[in-house]
Structure 1
Amino acid sequence: MIASLRGRLIFTDNTSAVVECGGVGLRCTVTKNTLYRLPQKGNEVFLHTFLAVREDSLDLYGFSDSDELEAFRLITSVNGVGPKLGIAILSEFTAERLTVFIASGDAKALTAAAGVGIKLAQRIVLELKDKVGAVSIGAAEDVKAIGNATAHTNTAEAVAALVSLGYSQSEASLAVGRLDGTLSTDKLIKQALKSLARRI
């Protein structure tokens, strides 16, 4: 089984990345969160991977960190959630947000992901709630702030810019999510950087 890849990033599109390893280009389907964290083409990249084996295909899925991979394994253990839907869910939510929504029983929030109706969302919560454990009120408040960061295009762009500067997806989303989402992207970035600098 292919557990990880390290090589040169040679191609990306909206849903995948191609990593050259030993002269062979391997295409991985990736989440939007992983896509935001990829380096520039031509640079070295490391991805945690999951290989889905079917009778007619071998599909490789790539993740920027082990938390996202474990969340993918968890969500695809639910009956009715295949790898493609798992990627769609983790493109809508970070692993942290997904865990909080499941632990708090917020099935409605899960329906924001493409392909997830209320019945499937309820099944996800029912099957996984005991597995993810309890979540603190503080964590739930942080997730609410992170959710605000993806509500508008400018906030999403600001988050992507911060991630490209080296901040984690959760750090960037939390910093931007606490700001006024109607601000311009530039102002959001500047204010978020000030907020992040104060934490150091």
Structure 2
Amino acid sequence: MRHTSTTRTAGGLLLAATTIALLAGCSGGGTPTQTATRTVTATPSSSASATPVDGTAATPSATATCGPSDGAAAAAGPIADLALPAGLESARWDASRADTSQYDGCAALSAVTVSVADATASSPVAVLLFHDGTYLGTATKLQYPFVPDVSRPSADAVRVVYHFPQGQDSNADPTGRATATYTWDAAAGRVVMTGDVPPTP
């Protein structure tokens, strides 16, 4: 098994440093998947803007410990600034239909998911991560197709089950599954991602 590690650091006002470490691996047989670890270091400040690793603007916390209580309000700015996947530049993210059920402005880690307007089953979906209501960036750099199952097993973790087609699967019923867990490390002040993401087409 071969491992590749890449680290990038970006300065910001809300995010003092962002570090990404990606470990890619493959095993014989079956559908290849990527195993990844992603680390995001965030240091909130009184400033109103920052640039996370995916290049989108962060939303400041409404108080010292909590952000907006309304997930739609917290996600509106990040969704408006979110880049569209290659080939879909003429589309738009549909903020009015964003799923904010996993958002909590006072949680160590929470999430909002959003797809494009007039989405089909295989349209891309972005998973936006928040710490105490402050936007950190998207869960993955690529926005994968198919609506994932997003849950919060604890106040400091978000679990995403991605769906993808295998073999002769139709877009209406993809059977592939890849699970990634994002956990807020309070001592280090960062998000750590472990698990799998869908294979790259």
TM-score normalised per structure 1: 0.26
- Identify the structure with the greater helix proportion: 1
Rg (Cα) greater in structure: 1
- Identify the structure with the greater strand proportion: 2
Q: Which has the higher contact order (CA 8 A, sep 6+)?
A: 2
